[in-house]
Amino acid sequence: MSSHRDIRRLLYDFAAGQLEHHRHTLVERHLEGCAECREECTELRAMLKRLPAESNPSADLPTAFWQELLNDVSARLPVRPKRRIIPAWIFDWLEFISIPRHQAIIGAATVLVLVAIISGMWFAFRHEPVHKHIAAATPVGTKPPAPAVNTRLKAYLRKSKVLLVGLNNMPLEEGTAVDLSLERTTSRALLHEARYLKDQPLDERSAALISDLEKIQIALANSREREDIPGLRLIRGGIQEENLLFKIRIAETVFTRLEDETQHADQ
Amino acid sequence: MLTNRLVVALLMGCLLPVAGAVAELPAPSHPPAMSAPGTGEADDPAYALYRDGYHSILEEHWGEARKFFAELRHRFPGSRYRDDAEYWTAFSWKQEDPAKARDAYERFIRERSGSTYFGDAVADLRMLEIEAALADAPQPPPSGAPTGYEIRIRLPEELRRIARDMEHIARAQSMTLHRNLMVLREGDTLLAKAPPASMRLRLFSPDADDPELQIRINALDAMIAGKRDETAFKVLQDIALDGRQPVPIRHVALNSLTEFPQKDPGAVFLAVANRDTNETIQRIAIELFAASNRSRGDRTERLMDMFRRFEKSAPRREGALSTTLYALATIGDDRAIDFIVHIARSSTNQPLRSDAIYYLGNIGTDRARQALFRIVRGEY
């Protein structure tokens, strides 16, 4: 047991001082000639020294660092509008409208202005689709948005699985080309859906899975209608390298469980 | 009890007639499948029907797909696309009628054990059984410890943990979005603009109402958003390793270490995964190490060593063992599969054996498929 790969496996135990004598010597000898392992060993030793922590290393940083960091945080926090002192003309205006004769004039003027605004808005927006309107910058209702995204995510995963299972089981014959027209079209639609989903509130596992799937979908979307076998093998390799079908199945199982829990909670 | 069912099915060895009369075929909703002269596709007259059926599956027109595949089976029973037709028929039933799907999958597994779809069929059937088990919940507790390869339907504990975790994160994000962000309306659907991926975890904090904690999470966020230099990496590393820091802060710090493309946080993950006394942090580090940029071989070997170490540790770290097994399954390379097979065959920890078989059934590569088949046949 002395290859570079074998020694790398012993590095953690070596750094933790848990190797028996002869293996310890073996690793020591290897480290003399291997800069990569030496570097990793140094790193590991440094990490292990801190676990469990005896001091707070972050506290050793200069005060200036933390000050700069806090300034950075402050700069990123949303700026609240400054409170303004009520100007004197507002009081004059309030005094003016308190006279009954003036109130009638103001009432009539207000009705006219409102009619003008409503008509203007109707003309301005009658051809615009509703979805382009920014409805509100404040919460809508009292409940958080419904988990519609889960339904779309599940559908996205199901379609991706169909695509990947189909590709994985496609018979390959050397020297021939494979028709990937359906796969190309489906991948393009899935890429579009992935872009939508990535803008939704997702947990980090789902987000990572979508990113992994996107790579395959991009490769397929850009493939030729009749792809040669090496090209297809490359795509299949990507699916297997990332173990994507396993990840999709696990995600589906987890979603099923979540749905089941939600249903039970509702009941 | 999938494996039992399979064993019984294999012993019986009965062949069920392929059901389903051939109905009138729908017109394909896409251009005809292209077959080039001289290719394998063109050699098999069933190819066009297979592509029509598969297209319907991609479009989720399940009934239409079944008609194409039934026609294929009827007209070309000896076609190389027969397995495809059988598998996708079962898959289409899975979306519409679980009982019919179960029959179709069981028949497929019984009759087509050499098919490249074998692993996919096993995984789908497993999923159906889990759905059925969940639908029938609450399940009665098992009487006594299972023996041999008798594995009751059981979702790995690890997946329950992930489900809880995902739910918390999604809920926290949803609430945060709801509170703070601009909301766009599309018809009746609310489209909330989510934060960038790098911020997702930072939104998740069980103590989000603690202002002190929140300001520190904001500080971390600012640091990541700023210069990703040596100092920032070191600070995150320090926080991740510092056992006195609150768990949410360490969680964010560990996760943020992956956002430095020029750096390898593997050593930090390894140290925390192997040694940390906080199980939550330890499990996060294991998952992050499994997903790190290191080579598959390196990740697999380190995780296998870690697993062996956890097995020997006293008291045994069950949570860490379960996460390490899951992490190995997510990598899914040949060595990981061999290791999972070894656990499925000989571990004395029954829940881990069950998890191992569950994962093997979901990996679906040739190696996993063969291993699963040998387990089913009792060859190990």
- Partners of residue B192 on adjacent β-strands: B183
Using only the alpha carbons of chain A, give its radius of gyration.
Answer: 32
| Number of domains forming the structure of chain B | 2
Place of tokens 């950075």: A72
Q: Is A243 left (phi over 0), alpha (psi -120 to 50) or beta?
A: left
For residue B359, which residues of chain A lie inside 8 Å, CB to CB? 246
pLDDT tens column, A196-233: 888 777 777 888 899 999 999 999 998 888 888 888 88
Query: DSSP string covering A99-124, please?
Result: SHHHHHHHHHHHHHHHHHHHHHHHHH
Q: Mean pLDDT over all residues of chain B?
A: 76
Whether A56 and B365 lie within 8 Å, measured CB to CB: no
Look up the domain containing B340 and give its range.
264-380
Residue B57 within a domain: yes
Cis peptide before B196 (omega within 30 of 0): no
Tokens 């079944």 belong to residue: B66
| CATH label of the domain that carries residue B53 | 1.25.40.10
Sign of the four-CA dihedral A96, A100, A102, A103: positive
Last residue of a domain, one of B73, B100, B130: B130
More confident of the two residues A203 and B33: A203
Residue B192 in tokens? 């909330």
Which residue is listed with tokens 């990703």? B228
Residue of B nearest to A37 (CA): B267
Give the pLDDT of chain A (267 residues) as one tens digit per residue. 568 888 888 888 888 888 888 889 999 999 999 998 998 888 888 888 777 644 444 555 555 665 566 566 555 554 444 444 455 555 556 656 666 666 777 777 777 777 777 666 655 544 433 333 323 322 333 334 445 677 889 999 999 999 999 999 988 887 788 899 999 999 999 999 999 888 777 777 888 899 999 999 999 998 888 888 888 889 999 998 889 999 999 888 888 877 777 766 666
Task: Residue A199: list chain B partners with CB under 8 A.
Answer: 191, 193-194
- Identify the three-state secondary structure at position A39: helix
Find the range with the poorest average confidence among B123-132, B191-200, B314-323.
Answer: B191-200
Contact assessment for residue A262 and residue A256, using Cβ atoms and an 8 Å cutoff: no
Tell whether the model's pLDDT for residue B176 goes beyond 70: no
Query: Does A59 touch chain B if contact means CB atoms closer than 8 Å?
Result: no
Query: What 8-state DSSP symbol labels residue A68?
Result: H
Q: How far is B16 from chain A (nearest CA, A)?
A: 24
Give yes or no for a contact between A168 and A161, defined as CB atoms under 8 angstroms apart: no
Contact with chain B for residue A163, Cβ under 8 A: yes
Give me the pLDDT at residue B371, please. 82
Q: Rounded to whole angstroms, how far apart are CA atoms B246 and B239? A: 9
What's the length of chain A?
Answer: 267
How buried is A16 (Cβ within 10 angstroms: 0-12 exposed, 13-18 middle, 19+ buried)?
Answer: middle
- CA–CA gap between residue B65 and residue B308 (Å, rounded): 48
Contact by Cβ (8 Å): A144, B183: no
Q: Which residues of B touch A204 (CB under 8 A)?
A: 169, 197, 200-201, 255
Which 3 state secondary structure label does DSSP give A178?
strand
Which residue did the predictor score with more confidence, B168 or A83?
Answer: B168
For residue A3 the two structure tokens come to: 């290859």
Q: Can you tell me whether residue B332 is helix, strand or coil? A: coil
CB-CB under 8 Å, A260 with B134: yes
pLDDT range class, residue B71, cuts 50, 70, 90: very high
Percentage, residues of chain B above pLDDT 70 = 71
**Domain-located, residue B83:** yes
Among A248, A245, A238, smallest CA distance to A215 is for: A238
Set of chain A residues whose Cβ sits within 8 Å of the Cβ of B231 = 65
Domain end point (choices B130, B157, B174): B130
The complex scores an ipTM of 0.71
pLDDT category of residue B57 using cuts at 50, 70 and 90: very high
With cut-offs at 50, 70 and 90, classify the pLDDT of residue B55. Answer: very high
Residues 108-127 of A with CB under 8 A from B: none
Weakest mean pLDDT among A165-179, B81-95, B98-112 = A165-179
Q: Which residue in B217, B274, B300 has the most chain A C-beta atoms within 10 A of its own C-beta, making it the best mutation to test that interface?
A: B274
End of a domain among B130, B157, B186? B130
Strand ordering across the sheet containing B189-192: A134-136, B183-186, B189-192
Residue B238 belongs to some domain of the structure: no
Confidence of residue B330 (pLDDT cuts 50, 70, 90): very high
Which chain B residues touch A169 with a CB distance below 8 Å?
Answer: 83-84, 87, 116-117, 120
Which residue on chain A is closest to B128 by alpha carbon? A253
Residue A202 to residue B194, Cβ atoms within 8 A: yes
Q: Which residue of A has its CA nearest to B221?
A: A73
Distance CA B91, CA B97 (A): 10
Q: Name residues whose C-beta falls within 8 Å of residue A11's C-beta, 6 or more positions apart in sequence.
A: A27, A37, A40, A41, A44
E strand intervals along chain B: 183-186, 189-192
